[in-house]
Chains A and B, each alone.
Chain A
Amino acid sequence: MNIKEWIFTTDHKRVGILYLIGSIAAFVVAGIMAGLMRAELSAIGPTVTANPTTYNVWLYAHGAIMILGFQIPALTGFFANYCIPLMIGAKDVAFPRVNALSVWLFYVGVILALLTFVIPDPPDVLWTGYPPYSTITTGNTAFYTFTVLTLGFASIIGGVNFLTTVVYMRAPGITWNKLNIFVWCILGAFVMQLIFVPVLGSAVTLISFDKYLGTHFFDPANGGDVLTYQNLFWFYSHPAVYVIFLPYIGVVFEIVATFAKNHVFNYKAAVYGGVGGIVLISGEVWIHHLYVSGMPDWLRIGQMVSTLMISVPVGLLVISLVGTLYKGAISFETPMLYALGVVFLFLIGGLTGIPLAVTALTLNLSETYYVVGHFHYVMAVAGTFAIFGGVYYWFPKMTGKMYSEFWGKTGFWVTFVGVNAVFWVMMDIGVKIGLPRRYYDYAQFPEALQSQQIMSMGAAVIAVGAAITILNWIIGAIQGPKAGNNPWGSQSFEWTTVSPPPHGNWPSPPSAAESWNPYAYGKR
């Protein structure tokens, strides 16, 4: 193996695997941050650290790295890179060198995030970086800004690359209405990235302008406005939820169709109504993050309506998923367990989001543990389960080898128990006593102690499950048995080449037959 053909690679599959390695490393680091927070909260009073600012740094690192360093790069970096050219029968992406630039910018972003643990003044601004705190803190807000900027730029050039690739490089016979749902989801995600990431980039840039160059964008004393930042930030960061949601539900679609041996139910409604609907509505719901920050009532009600409206396209996608299971020949290999786990976790996360959209309720629930529990279910945990399931699903394609089913399933069940122990209890304590989130200590809420301890134990269980999963991949990649080219019997195009695919993917440019369809599993 030639090491420079890995580090400097322009091949979409290797770029994808570099993305995977980086994002899993980010996941581990951010997971350790969560573990430290859970350890700190396992008892009242100082436990791990006596310095609340240290706790804030963990909080920053956990959120920023999980979202920007793990989930978005794993979904739109790894899965998109690895799968899209294979799914559309292309030899590579449109701009392989831009792709290499994108993955190394991602690594630069991760390095900047990791500098948090080295520098004397780590950023302590959460992943949101709200002014005025972020412009007056002694923490290093510049590294927050540049972490976001490099990762954002990596994502933008990735988006340009993939949109061009899918538009121009599909093999003959792979028409728009025969694209994998996953490809549609990635298209939707990247259109949103292109529109919204630049706004986030501007917002965090203006923070550093304010802090280091003396401008007054968010300085009310001089005519600026802190709410402008909140608007710019959430204009991206709410759609970011869909940037994570669409690819992960796309991965789940591929897994469910393959293991249910069934065509996707209501394909066109899922694509045009579901994916298209989410992209359309995504840009006009962000103000619900400012319910508590203040706004006129008519705007609150409008935002409540449009936020609830998001349930319609999302519902179309869920109906398609469940309809695909209906009368399918279902088998429960590890990827399928994860996919069904996602459906379950997403239903809990989605339904518990409705009270947060309703203004009368959210004013009470806002800033409590309930919110944290909700978004971990709907985005963090469901997204991570989809990533784990997807890695398992394409594992034989990537490595040509098979992982251990036993450890795969064990890892799934352990993690599944752990996440429910943490996040169900989290929502429960948020509703029952309104325990405020983000606090370093909870001496005023001694009745929360037992719940906190259950959550801390749950976090340890998650750590065990995740460790089993990651070790299972590493061991499987090194010494797993040969898997064959298409172990799942999938109809999707990526399984028509050998495993692992060579440079160029196919010996000669492929084309799809008239009768081909990624979900052609026969009539039910």
Chain B
Amino acid sequence: MSHNSALSHAEHHEHGGHWDYSVPPFLISFGILFLVLAFAFHFVYHSGLAAAISLGVGVPLIIAGIVGWVREAMGHGEGLSYGAMGWFILAEAMIFVSFFVSYWFMHLRAAAWPPAGTPDMPRLLPMVMTAVLVISSITIHHGEALLHKGNKAGFMNWLMVTILLGATFLGMSGYEWSHLIHEGFTPATNIYGTVFFSITGFHGSHVFVGLCIFLAALLPGFKGNISEGYVRTAGLYWHFVDIIWFFVVSQVYYW
């Protein structure tokens, strides 16, 4: 809505002309407010009902906001989003830097690592997860290349493969988590639990966001609406998430 409109507005710039507006950002913001309230109700005030109600309000608001946003943006190719993503990734990277720096200080000062109470961590699974994520980076890159050549159907196939791989990664991560928690290893167990669950969880949330970004390309894509700029931007984000994983796996699992 807010794009491609400067020319049409030029005609009535004197008085009472139409001003662009968009409801989805408003919905998302207040959806986030309700998510925060849900957190507070659950963790601070221990009221499950109030938390559930807040979630029930917040989640639909956010989903409605995102769907509305994608619909509005469709066909308006946000041509500058690739450049913007670079700045956003800078900010994202700094979050990981602070997590890792906190971790390094704790690790280097610890008398023994891993600290007492840590179970045997899986050695093979993280390797497989790494492979899955690396392959997903290659598949999306290949898909982009096909799209660039105009092969939309080919792109859609590779996009679906990528999403599948990303979901597999999350599934393995979830399996690992539930396995560890089942063994009694939680964020509260010791400093390694703190670090392990925080960093892998935070990275996993980025994989999840990446998948949502891909879904927002996939669903309209079935109707033939594909924006190359959007796909390139989404791919950039995905590669970033992939690169972060190398740090996660080398620092948290094998060091």
Q: A residues within 8 Å of B by Cβ?
A: 2, 4-5, 7-11, 14, 91-92, 94-98, 100-101, 104-105, 107-108, 111-112, 121, 140, 142-143, 146, 150, 156-157, 159-161, 163-164, 167-169, 194-199, 201-203, 206, 209, 212-217, 222-225, 228, 232, 235, 498, 502-504, 506-509
Contacts and interface: CB of A to CB of B under 8 A. Distances in A.
Contacts of B23: 8
The 8 A-B residue pairs with the shortest CB-CB distance, nearest first, are A214-B188, A104-B29, A502-B13, A101-B25, A223-B191, A202-B98, A96-B2, A8-B21
A9 B5 CA distance: 14
A235 B1 CA distance: 39
B80 A100 contact: no
Contacts of A223: 106, 109-110, 115, 190-191
A167 B83 contact: yes
Contacts of B84: 94-95, 160-161, 163-164
B124 interface: no
B32 A224 contact: no
21 contacts: A7-B21, A10-B1, A14-B19, A95-B80, A95-B84, A97-B69, A100-B22, A164-B83, A164-B84, A167-B83, A194-B87, A198-B98, A209-B187, A212-B44, A214-B188, A217-B102, A223-B190, A225-B105, A225-B106, A228-B101, A502-B13
Given A101-B25, A104-B29, A215-B188, A156 B43 contact: no
A168 B80 CA distance: 8
A107 B32 CA distance: 11
A169 B80 CA distance: 10
Given A214-B188, A215-B188, A101 B28 contact: yes
Contacts of A503: 9, 13, 17-20
Interface string B43-79: 1100000000000000000000000010011000010
Contact of A105 (B29, B78, B98): B29
A225 B109 contact: yes
Contacts of A167: 83
Contacts of B102: 202, 206, 217, 228, 232
B246 interface: no
A97 B22 contact: yes
Interface stretch (B89-97, B160-168, B210-218, B224-232): B89-97
B187 A112 contact: no
Contact of B44 (A92, A96, A142, A198): A142
Contact of A95 (B13, B78, B105, B190): B78
A108 B32 contact: yes
Contacts of A101: 25, 28-29
A502 B15 CA distance: 8
Contacts of A7: 21, 26
Query: How many residues of B sit at the interface, in one of the four size bands?
Result: 35 or more
Given A97-B72, A100-B22, A209-B194, 8 more contacts: A4-B21, A95-B81, A108-B29, A108-B33, A164-B80, A195-B94, A225-B105, A502-B13
Contact of B194 (A2, A198, A217): A217
A216 B109 CA distance: 14
Contacts of A142: 36, 39-40, 43-44
Contacts of B2: 10, 92, 96-97
Contacts of A143: 36, 40
B59 to A, nearest CB: 16
B99 interface: yes
B19 A198 contact: no
A508 B20 CA distance: 17
B20 A11 contact: yes
A342 to B, nearest CB: 30
Contact of A10 (B21, B78, B115): B21
Nearest to B33: A108
B115 to A, nearest CB: 6
A124 to B, nearest CB: 14
A213 B13 contact: no
B36 A150 contact: yes
Main SS of chain A's interface residues?
Answer: helix
B187 A213 contact: yes
A196 B97 CA distance: 11
A182 to B, nearest CB: 20
Given A9-B19, A97-B73, A224 B28 contact: no
A78 to B, nearest CB: 17
A8 B14 contact: no
B66 to A, nearest CB: 11
B192 to A, nearest CB: 9
Contacts of A156: 88, 91
Given A209-B187, A214-B186, A504 B9 contact: yes
B194 A8 contact: no
A214 B6 contact: no
B204 interface: no
Contacts of A108: 29-30, 32-33, 36
Contact of B87 (A112, A159, A212): A159
A269 B251 CA distance: 43
Contact of B25 (A14, A97, A212, A215): A97
Contacts of A95: 78, 80-81, 84
Nearest to B80: A94
Nearest to A7: B26
Nearest to A200: B98
Contacts of A98: 25
A204 to B, nearest CB: 11
B11 to A, nearest CB: 8
Contacts of A2: 19
B17 A5 contact: no
Contacts of B194: 209, 215-217, 222, 224
A159 B10 CA distance: 28
Given A203-B98, A222-B191, A503-B19, A104 B30 contact: yes
Nearest to A223: B191
Contacts of A96: 2-3, 20, 22
B22 A159 contact: no
Nearest to A14: B19
Contact of A168 (B32, B83, B187): B83
B126 interface: no
A140 B193 CA distance: 25
B188 to A, nearest CB: 3
B235 interface: no
B98 A199 contact: yes
Nearest to B191: A223
Interface string B228-254: 000000000000000000000000000
